[in-house]
Amino acid sequence: MSTLVLAEHNGQQLHNEVRHAVSAAQHWGQPVHLLVVGYQSEQIAKQAATVDGVTEVLHANAPQFEHPLAEDVSKLIDTLVTDYEVVMAAHTSFSRNVLPRVAAVAGVAMISDVLAIHPDNRYVRAIYAGNVHTTVQSRDAKQILTVRGSKFTAAELNGQAEITAVSVPEPFTKTRWISESRIESDRPALNSAKVVVSGGRSLGSAEKFDALLNPLAEKLGAALGATRAAVDAGYAPNEIQVGQTGVTVAPELYFAVGVSGAVQHTAGMKDSRIVVAINQDPDAPIFQVADYGLVADLFDAVPSLTNALS
């Protein structure tokens, strides 16, 4: 038996999380196959073939996958699932949409957002917004799971897997894709950035949020993040919200600027290697989780930090 990993991409680039999922997939010690779903996606399949540890790339190329819907992707995986003991992916909105459908049709449980994989199909995952870690054991013959990418190392890109075309079922016609809106940015993606600069409500307005944090993020080559409070106040778009109801990040370096440190936010960033907090309030809870705390007026400190990086 083999392990099947669902690969995510944006039409041009294989997402970094795929490499983390592939390294998690090595746990079972079985051949790892990577499934690339797309349209005119030969280039993606070739990238997938270079991920270390992948023995075969299954390439599903069809017009309905130009904007892949969960209904179509899960139908495709349903046709492959009998050949695999494990079907898994990184815990992204794409796979969270697809894999529960696969699990339901296969009649097995799914294990979401796995932090660690142990022998005998035991998994550690976070519950209650990351406040509790639980270990569960699956009693199913087939394992279907998503893993949190930041908890597993990224596979290298020295591989040379074979690419095999797979046949694609008829499209599911009851769902129609209409449009997509993504933030275009030269900056790294928030969930895989090495450095993240996040702003909280203390920034005071959308204008100040941008004026203060953009230059700093630019200098650091960092992705921009925001707290739920800053998003709710309209300072930043929802897409960049870091926290329990947003994106989970684990960069090398995390700057929390004007962030109070609500549990909702810390749940999404507490796996960062180094956390720097800049806040005027010396009692802000963020200082309890920060490696380096600077108690200062952020309207002075952030520009001088940006300047000092020149």
Partner 1 sequence: MKILVAIKRVVDYNIKVGIKGDGSNVDIDGVKMSANPFDENAIEQAIRLKEQGKADEVVAVSIGSSANQDVLRHALAMGVDRALLVEHETEVQSLEVAKLLQAVADKEQPDLILLGKQAVDDDAGQAGQMLAALLDYPQGTFASELDIENGEAIVTREIDGGTETVALQLPAVVTADLRLNDPRFVKLPNLMQARKKPIENLSASELVTDLTPRLSLINVAEPPQRKAGIKVDSVDALLQQLRTKEGIAL
- Please list every residue from 97 through 136 that binds partner 1, using CB under 8 A: 97-105, 107-113, 122, 125-136
Name the segment binding partner 1 (CB under 8 A); options: 18-26, 57-65, 154-162, 183-191: 183-191
- If residue 211 lies in a helix (H) or strand (E), which one and from where to where? helix 206-220
Task: In angstroms, give the least distance from the CB of 119 to partner 1.
Answer: 12
Distance CA 293, CA 81 (A): 50
With contacts defined by CB under 8 A, name the span among 44-52, 96-104, 149-157, 206-214 that binds partner 1: 96-104
Contact set for partner 1, span 257-296 (CB under 8 A): 263, 266, 270, 274-276, 287-296
Q: Which of residues 145-164 bind partner 1 (CB under 8 A)?
A: none
**Is residue 243 a contact point for partner 1 (CB under 8 A)?**
no
Task: Please select the residue that binds partner 1; options are 137, 153, 164, 205, rule is CB under 8 A.
Answer: 137
Our finding on whether 299 is near partner 1 (CB under 8 A) is no
Smallest gap from Cβ 229 to partner 1, in A, equals: 13
Selected from 96, 151, 187, 208, the binder of partner 1 by CB under 8 A is 96
| Of 167 and 308, CB closest to partner 1 | 308
Considering only 160, 170, 186, 308, the residue that binds partner 1 (CB under 8 A) is: 308
Lay out the sheet containing 122-127: strands in order across.
122-127, 110-118, 143-147, 84-90, 2-6, 32-38, 54-61, 162-165
DSSP per-residue letters across 225-284: EE-HHHHHTTSS-GGGBBSTTSB----SEEEEES----HHHHHHHTT-SEEEEEES-TT-
CA–CA gap between residue 141 and residue 149 (Å, rounded): 24
CA distance 164 to 103: 24
Length of the chain: 310
Residue 61 has φ and ψ, to the nearest 5°, of -115, 115
Strands 110-118 and 122-127, bridge-based pairing? antiparallel
Taking CB under 8 A as the binding criterion, the range among 18-26, 36-44, 58-66, 299-307 that sits at the site for partner 1 is 299-307
- One-letter amino acid identity for 272? S
Binding segment for partner 1 among 32-40, 58-66, 206-214, 297-305 (CB under 8 A)? 297-305
Chosen residue from 24, 190, 193, 217 binding partner 1 by CB under 8 A:
190
178 lies in the site for partner 1, by CB under 8 A: yes
CB of 19 to partner 1, least distance (A): 16
Interacting residues with partner 1 between 198 and 227 (CB under 8 A): 220
Q: How far is CA 299 from CA 99, 225, 279, in A?
A: 45, 18, 10
Note whether 16 binds partner 1 by CB under 8 A. Answer: no
Q: How near is the Cβ of 196 to partner 1 at its closest, in Å?
A: 13
Site for partner 1 in 30-89 (CB under 8 A): 67, 69-71, 74
**What phi and psi values does residue 226 have, to the nearest 5 degrees?**
-150, 160
Q: What angle do CA 219, 225, 227 make, to 5 degrees?
A: 140
Indicate which single residue of 172, 210, 214, 299 sits in contact with partner 1 (rule: CB under 8 A): 172
